[in-house]
Amino acid sequence: MVEPQATSRSKAVLATPTDIGEQATRDIAAALTGLLADVFTLYLKTKNFHWHMSGPNFRDYHLMLDDHGDQLFAMTDVIAERARKVGGTTLRSIGHIKRLQRLQDNDADFVTPEDMLAELREDNKQLVIAMRQVHETTTEYDDFATTSLLENWIDEAEKRVWFLFEMSRRR
């Protein structure tokens, strides 16, 4: 049985002080929450490939993917807190991530290093597209703080795409 007090707390309305308006709060928080689901998905896939890397370039790939994972994980708290700062909510569970993620998981028992790099390159390209879409939303509502963060994250993601491309070139 749920305590009456707990039930009333779970239905409490957020009253985060913000000047961006209700529609902006809904749109920005929803966009950020979808982005956060994709970032968590890409983070876990990057760590998966980092843990399961093999082959003659193991050390270089392993270290690069560790750096990429660190970048992605560093984004997660900032994205969630931005959604809260603008008056919205954000992810609550792994199930919530699964419902919102647009990037695909990779549960294969074995993936070649070349396929790992190619898949992460494409996922990072998709993340750039998603961030540009969120950027459009935040720009529309003059949410300069979130827009600025997105511009830096887009640059980081483009660098990851570049590194993954260059590491997979054969000539």
Region 91-105: mean pLDDT is 98
Region 60-73: mean pLDDT is 98
Please report the pLDDT score of residue 32 as a whole number: 98
Please report the pLDDT score of residue 40 as a whole number: 98
Region 29-43: mean pLDDT is 98
The Cα–Cα gap between 45 and 123 comes to 10
Q: Is residue 8 pLDDT above 80, yes or no?
A: no
With beta carbons less than 8 A apart as the criterion, state whether 109 and 52 touch. no
- Comparing 12 with 128, the larger pLDDT belongs to 128
Give 133-165 pLDDT, tens digit per residue.
999 999 999 999 999 999 999 999 999 999 999
Q: How far is CA 61 from CA 21, 113, 166, in A?
A: 45, 8, 12
Region 44-60: mean pLDDT is 97
Closest C-alpha to 81, from 41, 32, 128, 20: 32
3-state SS record for 127-158: HHHHHHHHHHHHHHCCCHHHHHHHHHHHHHHH
Give 10-25 pLDDT, tens digit per residue.
554 567 767 788 999 9
Q: What is the chain's mean pLDDT, rounded?
A: 93
Structural domains in the chain plus CATH codes? 20-168 (1.20.1260.10)
Please report the pLDDT score of residue 112 as a whole number: 97
Closest C-alpha to 102, from 156, 31, 168: 31
Q: Is residue 2 pLDDT above 60, yes or no?
A: no
Closest C-alpha to 18, from 90, 88, 87, 89: 87
Please report the pLDDT score of residue 11 as a whole number: 52
Region 86-104: mean pLDDT is 97
